[in-house]
Amino acid sequence: MPDSPRPPGAVRRWAVSRPAVVDALVALGYLLVSGTSLALVWLATGDGRPLGVDVVLGAGLVLSAAALLVRRRRPWLTFAVVTVATAVAALVDFGVDPLGTCLALYALAVHRSVRAAWIGLGVSVLVGAGVSALSTVVLGDATGASVVTVLLALVAVLIGVDVGSRRRRLEALVERAERLERERDQQARLATAAERARITREVHDIVSHGISVMVTLAEGADALARKDPARSQEAVVEIVQVGRRSLGDMRRLLGALGDDDDDASTATAPGAGVDGGVATSAAAPGAGLSAQPQPGIDQLPELVASFRAAGLPVVVESRGVPAASEALQTAVHRIVQESLTNALRHARSPSRVLVELDWGEQVVVTVTDDGVGLGAGATDGADRADGDGAAPRLTGAGRGLVGMRERARMYGGTVEAGPLQDGGGSGGGWRVAVVLTDTEEAR
């Protein structure tokens, strides 16, 4: 939190840091000044005056000084005690001490409000007028608040209003700065959480797709190693390419986070060339990829080709003109990637996986498979095994569907995923439909 501004000057800083000491000094000063004045009056006119008058004046002086000790916390109490003590002193001694009243009105203006100070001034004037009228009627001698006393009280109120207004304005500014700092910290925490969710979503898309395709290709390569070595070798080459693309995507993501400065070079990997009939690239995997754009519609054929190589019969149908927004294209690419990854993981023996892209006023992405089992979107960890007792496919933890919903939410869209209604009673088929509505600005 921002620190309160330091008052200028050592004396003011000391006074602000020790309010109780300052209040005690104010009360002591009032006691000394008013007590000295009372003593001088007594020396001048005290002979022959009743002792009770001096007792009343002294008690009023002490009570007023004690009330000044709580002027910050209870300014109205201080004003009431001082006003009553002053009125009693005026009645018994035919005089008014303006110092206590001025200090009490100043406390109201500074520690209460401007309105309270003006009300206090009005009450003081009315009390002074009432004391003057009462002393005239009862004692036959007018006493009470004079014009000089009222002017002194007015000056005290004006000074207190100025000091109090500046103090309250400063407190309001400090409170506003603290509130803005809290809001800034909260926004930073929200932004951090959103960025973490985005990174988690991107990493899931990259790793889930790459590993699923590579595991499927590796299983196929192992099955064909003896029957068809040539096709097995092609599968191994595809594994290398998928792995390299996944590494490149991961390095691109890390580069966007500012951690890929030293890796974005074109260093040559040792041992580059052809090893065991498997072609390898001369450049380091993912080198220089941090500056490449995120995948979009132009990379969709390559994505589909990788799934086809893994044995997934993917068919793509696109209608309309794709949006020019790279962010929107990336969202569509990732949605298709996650849907096909789920189909590769969960769909058993699909004869067709249809990807439909409708680029209209709303962007609609639909991925449908006719595989046998729980459906391509199954994420509850259940295994989908076909009738020949084959090994179960990979299962997920449900992050893919969550990621698709988050991407759709950025464009005001919705995600629907579930088994096909016309599955023919075989329990097969799964459909994922994503509708992105807020795409006008993205175009």
Q: What is the pLDDT of residues 129-176, one digit of tens each?
A: 888 777 776 655 555 557 888 899 899 999 999 998 988 898 889 889
pLDDT value of residue 398 = 58
The tokens describing 217, both together, are 């290709």
Cβ atoms of residues 310 and 394 within 8 Å: no
Return the closest-CA partner of residue 439 out of 336, 337, 321, 354: 321
Cβ atoms of residues 267 and 287 within 8 Å: yes
What residue ranges of the chain have pLDDT lower than 70?
Answer: 1-9, 41, 45-49, 94-96, 137-145, 208, 252-293, 373-399, 421-427, 438-443
pLDDT value of residue 91 = 79
Q: Give this prediction's pTM.
A: 0.46
